[in-house]
Amino acid sequence: MDENIVTAIGTPNMALIKYWGKREEKLILPMNSSISMTFDETFNTKTSVLFTDRVPEDSFYINGVRQDLSDKDIMERFAIIDIMRRMAGTTSKAVVVSENSFPTAAGLASSASGIAAMVFAANSALKLGLGTKELSIIARQGSGSSCRSLSGGFVKWEMGSKDDGSDSCIRQIAGPGHWSDIIDIVAIVSKSKKKISSRAGMKQTVANSILYKARPAYAERACAEMEEAILKKDFERLGMLMMKDSNNLHAVMLDTYPPILYLNDVSKQIISSVSELNEVENKIVAAYTFDAGPNANIFTLEKYRSKVEELLSNIEGIESTRISKVGNGPRIIDEDASLIDPSTFKIKSG
């Protein structure tokens, strides 16, 4: 087959209404729809993909480290390469090299940007010509939340109802230019790897949290309201909905046995300080949300930015902050930027 190295850049997404729980494990079908904002390239993953018959086996590198493809976690995510190979009717081996510009596995959705970049690059390398919806269905099977990173702007992952997952795919609610003054201040509280993965954590929550039973129906309604808030650029409504959803998520996590605790004292201080600020201002000027980790995402508008930055600068324990605006989604970049050496088919050194 045609052997060309394709490199793509993907970015994470931050869920405003979260996905937490599967109704089907293998295909990764969620219990409820979710909505996110795709990040700009402040945080990004660059991934180069090559399909070739000239190497004996698949290889996969993340941040310079060769991954063990017999490891269950890695295998489950790499399975999307098999799906795409099958679609292309090839048995060529894959070389995939991925580099993150931010800490992995610390609640910063590194797998989302990595998988989005990988699927986007593989689509081009295998000349599959698939569109966003089809690519989101493939990405979903590697890691659920990653499917939302296949599009820029504000994105809804529709839970779908079909058993084969063909309607569990993404839809863009609004493009990247729709809301240019909304920003996400990412406050890094800890760079360490999370103790329990989202995959394992959500499974336990679905299995034994009493409170979780109310979550899917509520989240579905929250998605409808969130979509309206985004379309109307109603920040107060968006803020209230996202904070309530984050609170609900971490409540059902705590209600799981053994309890799942991702928030630490600094995260809780951020929750209190943001709430106090909104009280003092008598309106919502900032809104927090937390994924499966202690790092905070604080959404605000440009006009309130200095106020929120000042607030955060007074909280002890925040290691650093970075700002993301609404991003454009994945893109293919120049051949020169490739992470694969075209003569050895291995990761480029240096």
Residue 152 near residue 175, CB atoms below 8 Å: yes
Q: Which run of H or of E encompasses 8?
A: strand 6-10
Is 291 an interacting residue with respect to ligand DP6 (CB under 6 A)?
Answer: yes
Could you say which residues in the range 133-152 bind ligand DP6, by CB under 6 A?
143-145
> How many chain residues bind ligand DP6 (CB under 6 A)?
14
In the bound complex, what is the minimum distance in angstroms from residue 141's beta carbon to ligand DP6? 9
Rounded CA-CA distance 160/236 in Å is 29
In the bound complex, what is the minimum distance in angstroms from residue 83's beta carbon to ligand DP6? 15
Residue 157 near residue 148, CB atoms below 8 Å: yes
In the bound complex, what is the minimum distance in angstroms from residue 207's beta carbon to ligand DP6? 14
Three-state SS for 65? strand
Q: Which stretch binds ligand DP6 (CB under 6 A): 16-24, 186-194, 219-227, 269-277?
A: 16-24
- Cβ-closest residue to ligand DP6? 144
Name which of 24 and 302 has its Cβ closer to ligand DP6.
Answer: 24
Residue 38 near residue 151, CB atoms below 8 Å: yes
Name which of 24 and 310 has its Cβ closer to ligand DP6.
Answer: 24
In the bound complex, what is the minimum distance in angstroms from residue 5's beta carbon to ligand DP6? 27
Rounded CA-CA distance 37/238 in Å is 12
Name which of 14 and 122 has its Cβ closer to ligand DP6.
Answer: 14
Burial 1-14 (b: 16+ CB within 10 A, else e): eeebbbbbbbbbbb
Strand order in the sheet with 93-100: 65-66, 59-62, 93-100, 45-52, 6-10, 331-333
Q: Which stretch binds ligand DP6 (CB under 6 A): 13-21, 66-74, 229-237, 313-321?
A: 13-21
The residues near 272 (Cβ < 8 Å, ≥ 6 apart) are none
Could you say which residues in the range 19-48 bind ligand DP6, by CB under 6 A?
19-20, 28, 34
The residues near 231 (Cβ < 8 Å, ≥ 6 apart) are 173, 174
Rounded CA-CA distance 68/82 in Å is 16
In the bound complex, what is the minimum distance in angstroms from residue 62's beta carbon to ligand DP6? 15
Q: Which stretch binds ligand DP6 (CB under 6 A): 15-23, 224-232, 273-281, 313-321?
A: 15-23
In the bound complex, what is the minimum distance in angstroms from residue 11's beta carbon to ligand DP6? 13
Q: Which residues bind to ligand DP6, rule: CB under 6 A?
A: 15, 18-20, 28, 34, 111, 143-145, 198-199, 291-292
